Amino acid sequence: MKLNDADKAMPDGAEGPAVAAAMDLLVRYGQALDAEVLCDVRNVAGTMTQPSPAKAHLVQEGGWQKAYAVLNLDSDGDFTIPDMKVPTCQLQQSFGPDAEGVAPYPKELVALQSDAEAFYSRKGVNILATCTPYQVGNIPVRGEHLARMESSAVVYANSVVGARTNCEGTASTGAASLTGRIPCWGNHRTENRIGTHHVDVRTPVAGPLDWGMLGYFAGGLVQEERPVVTGALAQPDLLDLKHFGAAAASSGGAEIYHLPGITPEAPSLEATFGGRRIPEAVPYGERERRAVYEDLNSQGTSPDVDFVLLGCPHASLDQVRDTAWLLEGRRLNTGTQLWLMVPRALRTTADRNGWTQTIERAGGRVLTDSCPAMSRSAPPGTKVFATDSAKQAHYLPAILGIEAWCGTLADCIDAAVTGIWKGDLR
């Protein structure tokens, strides 16, 4: 790799042993990727605070300094971790104190995570604790290079904002936080951001469920490549694109997509393919729409719903408001629980608007920081859950061994109130 003078000085200890270990990791990582250079990053989103038995052992052995060295720098060194060199935030983590008595999650892990938050915030980590940092103030600008984990946060940054990041890991983001550098490969390079597949939408797409299903179709089609989607698309909002990107990153590994005339790097269909020949369009019509819906609901057999999960990726304020409106004056079925997962920063606004109180009066809970997939925790005895998220319908049955139904927010609220799944594609 071609390193600049500052890069070369770091492994030699110019900024201390932790930074030396971080740069050593980045050089090895870049060489494995055949990257020629490193690029500057000033926005890192990673994971440091979420607890685990392995992390508890490392903390017992050498404190959070040791845990960061091993897990975030791939190093066995015993050294002090300096302050983060560039702005860094914590993504979603495990359940916190507001889930005690609600989610069956060990209290000792809640305490360990709270201790981690105190340590890392002193090191300059912004504890946003959400998979949607763009909803709570971490909004990069077009063309800015990032080092970011979490597939749905990555695809949103690349596609909707036009920033540049690959889907990084715990160690690479840990090293980037201390150096402000990351290998310049993949989505950091313009030639790797142009479209590879053309999806022609021939049935109306409007609303989060339809955008999620379209994303699920596009991700399954392209896998780790880059879809360009045109056709019968209503103007999307943040919620629609949040669901589209999360679903595309779940059924495949899409990290960037283009919607000509909507996303910033897609002024036209021709521009999204970088002047190359536009490939033959793959149709997405009513038959494909129905097939995706049936696929997402193929893991549900019993109509008896005992758990409703909303907010994946973490719910927007519009989702919290709409949930409250749909639950106004109603009560959950006695055998059904409802959890709405939100960023803690948005919970404060939901409280102020009275939406949290409305949801809780109905018997639901508004929880922060995590989700059942991340914490591997659902209400005890859960057998069948319903969700408005294609991502959770894709992952949670495999993680927790439960059945899944996927539909609109209204379908899910109806299931929470009646205990019966009645959803169908309209």
pLDDT digits (tens, 9 = 90+) for 79-93: 999 999 999 999 999
Q: What are the tokens at 350?
A: 């939901």
Residues in a beta bridge with 35: none
Cα distances from 252 to residues 46, 214, 267, in angstroms, run 21, 12, 25
pLDDT attached to residue 336: 98
pLDDT, tens only, 204-261:
999 999 999 999 999 999 999 999 999 989 999 999 999 999 999 999 999 999 999 9
Distance, in Å, from the CA atom of 48 to the CA atom of 17, rounded to the nearest integer, reads: 19
Residue 98's Cβ-count burial label (10 Å; 0-12, 13-18, 19+) is middle
Give 187's pLDDT tier (boundaries 50, 70, 90).
very high
Distance, in Å, from the CA atom of 54 to the CA atom of 344, rounded to the nearest integer, reads: 26
Residue 274 predicted with pLDDT over 90:
yes
Distance, in Å, from the CA atom of 82 to the CA atom of 404, rounded to the nearest integer, reads: 45
β-bridge pairing 181-183 and 38-40: antiparallel
- E strands, 281-323, in order: 282-284, 307-310
Phi, then psi, of 403 in degrees rounded to 5: -85, 155
Do 313 and 395 form a contact (C-beta atoms < 8 A)? no
Nearest to residue 225, comparing CAs of 188, 202, 194? 194
Q: Of 44-48, 358-362, 422-426, which gets the smallest average pLDDT?
A: 422-426
Residue 65 predicted with pLDDT over 90:
yes
Helices 390-400, 286-296: inter-axial angle, 10-degree rounding: 30
pLDDT, tens only, 319-338:
999 999 999 999 999 999 99
Helices (H), 106-207: 107-122, 151-156, 170-179
* Percent of the chain with pLDDT strictly greater than 70: 100
Q: What is the mean pLDDT of residues 310-314?
A: 96
What does DSSP assign to residue 126?
Answer: E
Cα distances from 355 to residues 44, 103, 226, in angstroms, run 32, 21, 38
pLDDT attached to residue 425: 86
Nearest to residue 21, comparing CAs of 82, 86, 69? 69
Give 426's pLDDT tier (boundaries 50, 70, 90).
confident
pLDDT, tens only, 343-366:
999 999 999 999 999 999 999 999
Do 172 and 182 form a contact (C-beta atoms < 8 A)? yes
Residue 290 predicted with pLDDT over 90:
yes
Distance, in Å, from the CA atom of 151 to the CA atom of 160, rounded to the nearest integer, reads: 14
Distance, in Å, from the CA atom of 316 to the CA atom of 156, rounded to the nearest integer, reads: 14
Cα distances from 92 to residues 265, 279, 310, 373, in angstroms, run 28, 37, 15, 11
- What is the secondary structure of 60-94 as a DSSP string? HHHHHHHHIIIIIH-----------SS-EEE---S
pLDDT attached to residue 203: 97
pLDDT attached to residue 15: 96
Q: What are the tokens at 75?
A: 């190093």
Do 152 and 247 form a contact (C-beta atoms < 8 A)? no
Phi, then psi, of 351 in degrees rounded to 5: -60, -45
pTM of full prediction above 0.75: yes
Residues, the chain: 426
Residues in a beta bridge with 227: 197
Please give the single-letter amino acid code of residue 147: A
pLDDT, tens only, 121-179:
999 999 999 999 999 999 999 999 999 999 999 999 999 999 999 999 999 999 999 99
